């Protein structure tokens, strides 16, 4: 199974690639919620220029998701990180991200980038 180590706030997490059906269902949910975010992130982008995913403004994402988002956002974030592991065990979101919610969003974004890097590339967004 394909995995990736994701570093968030000095912590190493292991994300696993989604299997086919789960991955596609998550992609459709993600697309519905994230379309306004992608539009916001690509504002001012000139033709042919890639948006570096490492340069993503977490604040802009949070604003789009929580101010202009839907009730499905929280479920999607929890589902994105549901199978993530730390120290060989599945993370306990309630304990791991208490008073550290920006890290939870950052991890969810990293899991999405890992699983959907081909989609981001098709949209002209770098997976780096």
**Can you give the pLDDT at residue 33?**
78
**Cα gap 58→89, rounded to integer Å:** 27
Instruction: Report the Cα–Cα distance between both ends of the chain, in Å, rounded.
Output: 21
**Can you give the pLDDT at residue 18?**
96
Tokens coding 10: 């000095």
Query: pLDDT of 87-126, one tens digit each?
Result: 999 999 999 999 999 999 899 989 998 999 888 777 665 5
Q: What is the mean pLDDT of the chain?
A: 81
CA neighbor of 30 nearest in space, from 128, 93, 103, 111: 111
The CA angle 65-70-75, to the nearest 5 degrees, is: 85
Query: pLDDT of 52-83, one tens digit each?
Result: 445 556 676 667 666 766 668 888 999 999 99
Query: pLDDT of 35-58, one tens digit each?
Result: 766 665 566 544 444 444 455 566
Alpha carbon dihedral 20, 88, 103, 21, in 10-degree steps, equals 10
**Cα gap 14→38, rounded to integer Å:** 25
Q: What is the pTM of this model?
A: 0.75
Which whole-number Å values give the CA distances from 39 to 13, 30, 66, 125, in the listed order?
Answer: 29, 14, 15, 12
**Can you give the pLDDT at residue 36?**
66
The arithmetic mean of pLDDT across residues 12-37, rounded, is 88
């Amino acid at each position: 199974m394909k995995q990736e180590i994701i570093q968030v706030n000095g912590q190493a997490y292991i994300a696993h690639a989604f299997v086919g059906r789960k991955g596609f269902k998550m992609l459709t949910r993600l697309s519905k919620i994230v379309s306004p975010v992608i539009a916001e992130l690509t504002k001012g982008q000139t033709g042919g220029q890639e948006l570096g995913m490492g340069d993503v403004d977490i604040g802009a994402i949070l604003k789009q998701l929580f101010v202009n988002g839907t009730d499905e956002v929280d479920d999607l974030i929890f589902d994105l990180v549901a199978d993530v592991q730390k120290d060989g065990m599945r993370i306990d979101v309630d304990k791991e991200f208490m008073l550290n919610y920006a890290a939870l969003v950052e991890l969810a974004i990293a899991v999405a980038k890992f699983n959907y890097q081909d989609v981001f590339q098709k949209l002209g967004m770098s997976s780096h």
